[in-house]
Structure 1
Amino acid sequence: MRRSQQRMRGLTLIELLVAMVIGLVIVLAAVAALTVARRGFNTVDAASQLRDSGRFAADLIQRVGAQTGYRDVFIAAGLASEDATREANLGGFNNALLDATNPTTASTARTASVVGYGSDILILRYQASQLYSNSEDSTKAAVADQTMIDCAGNTVASVPNPKDADPSQVAQAYDRRIVSIFHVAISQGEPALMCTYSSTGAAPWTTVPVIQGVENFQVLYGVDGVTANAAPAAPTAVPDVPDSYLRADQMTVAGSANNTKANWRRVRSIRIGMVLRSAPGSSQDMAAQTFWPFGAAKGSATGEAGTAFANSNDMGTSFQPTPDGRLRQTVSFTIHLRNDQGL
């Protein structure tokens, strides 16, 4: 019986404690590995979403930007000359919040405490294209070919169908342009690239979010023969290549609305820069960072990357967000305006 009792003896307390410690170490190692894998997955997923959002934003703005200044052939043929008092096809505001009532003519300056500080407003105008017109009855609208969209992706069903012999009707029809406005505002608690649009260029205006997480939106305008805050010089030839890039506030000529509009008609390209951010907790790096929305080009051979378009008078061209555990990505590109803006 003594031998049987010895064979049936269990673990000692020390052995049990050792086994528990070993098991706890294994569990902690598994939890740590799972946490690291989870954080890595979140980072990779957030980076992928940022790239997708950046590509979509660039594709949309480029498509709408390429439409800027388009005139339907039936209306362009009836315009004898460009009216200097007519609103230009391009416009914008620097470091501004959109005015919901008068989005094309008024804005509010952003303050440093507002999310999206330094972000600009871009205003684009263009006509829809006719599929065919009703030449027998000019009171009826012409059918649109559905190729022109606003910044929300909407098309229009019809466009004005003026009498070619009546210049006033042609001018009124030309003024009825699609307006797409890109700007930054808060949507569902996050900064977003917003689209405000009108199919007629007048109220009612509709605003919808386009891309979530855009906290910095910068615009520069490539102009030909324009000096900041001065009337444009008379062109010696048909201008189509920009020789400098200006901010929206540099296009304004004090006391002369017509000269301001003339400056906007000299825009030949648009330079866009954005900073997009992911959801909180997606970044494993909490260090402070500086972002250059207009890209990595240097202002000089010895300059820091990104300083080519950065300016202390243009808030947001050098962007330093508070470290908050978010991934961020810059997107920059240039749109060449292929349509005549009406000199």
Structure 2
Amino acid sequence: MKRHRTRQRGLTIPELLIALTIGALITLAGASLLGIANTSYATQLDAAAVDDGGRYALDLVARAVRQAGLRDWDGFDPAAGIDPLAPPRILGLDARSIAKTGYGIDNPLPDAANGSDVLALRYQGAGPAPDGDGSALNCAGFPVHANEDGWSIFYVANNAQGEAELRCKYRGASSWAADAVVAGVDTFQVLYAVDTDTPADGVANVYLNASGVSALDAVYAPGPALQEHTHWKRVLAVRIALLLHGARPSYLSRETQVFDLFGAPYSDARAGMDAGTRLPEDQLAPGLRLRERHQFVTTVRLR
């Protein structure tokens, strides 16, 4: 029998080139899929963070609105009644910001973010000094006792990095202070449901911005009549809208989005007189475009 010995040979150059090409294509496809997966994961994290921040902010503001007008009935004197000249328990400003220190909303500052508003809420504390009974809390979570008025003021200002954030301002034991509530704010908008009937019947007739409510008071001269009859004491509910963006760009490109904070009909009728209620994305700074954006709206009735 004759044996036939076969010689072992390697790949030819064409075969090697084909194998390298196929391997490179597989590597590129895998890297592309990994990049897409990472981008999708980051976008989902960003969206979840925006949702959490928006829900938390609306919940905090809503609780403060429900607390506006709170009275300590344990210390209430029925014979004296409610002072008709007492200041209103709710006030607001359109397209303004305020200082971290300084009384209430006095000395307003220029708007910090696309016509964002200021919402100021006052309420009576409850329980003995110095810490009260814990039933009346300001927006920072500190108790307010019965011998002082508590404040929860919400406004937008820029932080040290230049990013707009919603803040809550409150009166501490010795001075005013403010804490950040949520960052990444595009705009913060407020409308007020007002009873405009004479005499008042306890039913809201119209939603107005802060300037509109104040304009109704033009019929009164400054003094006791204005203090007693101001329409700020006729606010029955508050509609709050907040537009937030994510921390980083999430899209390479997309059609320009337009955000109507209180719906398109309101924006069509009032956007020219109420800055920030309609916000096209292409009007934002280039670095803030193409980000994940969510808007949050709620309406809260005052007690």
TM range (shorter): 0.7 to 0.9
1:265 aligns to what SS in structure 2? helix
Q: Deviations over 1:223-266 (max 9, x none)?
A: 112xxxxxxx642x5x3221111111223345526565421111
Q: TM-score, normalised by structure 2?
A: 0.85
State the AA in 2 paired with 1:192. E
1:145 paired residue among 122, 133, 136 = 133
1:198 pairs with 2:163: no
More helix by share: 2
CA contact (8 A) 1:150 1:178 kept: yes
Tell me how far apart the structure 1 counterparts of residues 226 and 251 of structure 2 sit (CA, whole Å). Answer: 44
User: Which of these residues, 138, 143, 146, is aligned with residue 159 of structure 1?
Assistant: 146
**Equivalent position of 2:23 in the other structure:** 23
User: What TM-score results when the alignment is normalised by the length of structure 1?
Assistant: 0.76
Change (3 A) 1:259 1:214: farther
Taking only the aligned residue pairs, the percentage that are identical comes to 32
Counterpart residue number, 1:319:
279
Amino acid at match of 1:333: T
Instruction: Deviation per CA, 1:262-312: give whole Å up to 9, x if none.
Output: 211111111111101111122454321100112x4x53xxxxxx6477431
Distance 1:35 1:292 in 2: 33
Q: Which runs of 4+ in 1 moved over 4 A?
A: 257-261
Q: Are the counterparts in 2 of residues 215 and 275 from structure 1 also a CA contact under 8 Å?
A: yes
Q: CA deviation at 1:185?
A: 1.2
Inter-CA distance 129–309: structure 2 relative to 1 (3 Å threshold) = farther
Match of 1:219 among 185, 190, 199: 190
Structure 2 unpaired stretches of 5+: none
**Structure 1 position 97, deviation (Å):** 1.4
Secondary structure, counterpart of 1:65 in structure 2: helix
The whole-number CA distance in structure 1 between the counterparts of 2:296 and 2:169 is: 21
Counterpart among 120, 124, 127 of residue 123 in structure 1: 120
Query: Residues 33 and 216 from structure 1, CA distance in 2 versus in 1: closer, same or farther, beyond 3 angstroms?
Result: same
Letter in 2 for 1:246: L
User: How far, CA to CA, are the matches of 1:273 and 1:14 in structure 2?
Assistant: 65
The Cα shift of 1:334 comes to: 0.7
**What residue number does 2:210 align with?**
248
Aligned to 1:171: none
Give the Cα–Cα distance (whole angstroms) in 2 for the partners of residues 251 and 269 of structure 1. 13
What does 1:292-303 correspond to in 2, within 5 Å? 292-294=260-262, 296=263, 299=265
Query: Aligned partners of 2:72, 2:36: CA distance in 1, in Å?
Result: 58
1:80 counterpart residue number: 81
Q: Render the CA deviation track for 1:115-136: whole Å, top value 9, x for unaligned.
A: x121000000012222xx6xxx
1:267 to 215, 225, 235: 235
Shift of 1:316: 0.4
Mapped contact 1:143–1:159 kept (Cα < 8 A) = no
Rounded to whole Å, the distance in 1 between the matches of 2:16 and 2:31 is 22
Partner of 1:181: 153
Q: How far apart are 1:199 and its partner, in Å?
A: 4.7
Give the Cα–Cα distance (whole angstroms) in 2 for the partners of residues 75 and 222 of structure 1: 30
Contact 2:194 2:207 in 1 (8 A): yes
Letter in 2 for 1:121: V
Question: Does the 8 Å CA contact 1:251/1:260 hold for their aligned counterparts?
Answer: no
| Distance in 1 separating the partners of 2:223 and 2:32 | 64
- Tell me which amino acid in the other structure corresponds to 2:169: T
1:210-230: per-residue Cα shift (whole Å, max 9, x none)?
Answer: 1122221001111112xxxxx
User: What is the alpha-carbon root mean square deviation over aligned residues?
Assistant: 2.4
Structure ranking higher in strand proportion: 2
Shift of 1:188: 4.8
Q: Is the 8 A contact 1:142 1:159 kept in 2?
A: no
SS in 2 for 1:149: coil
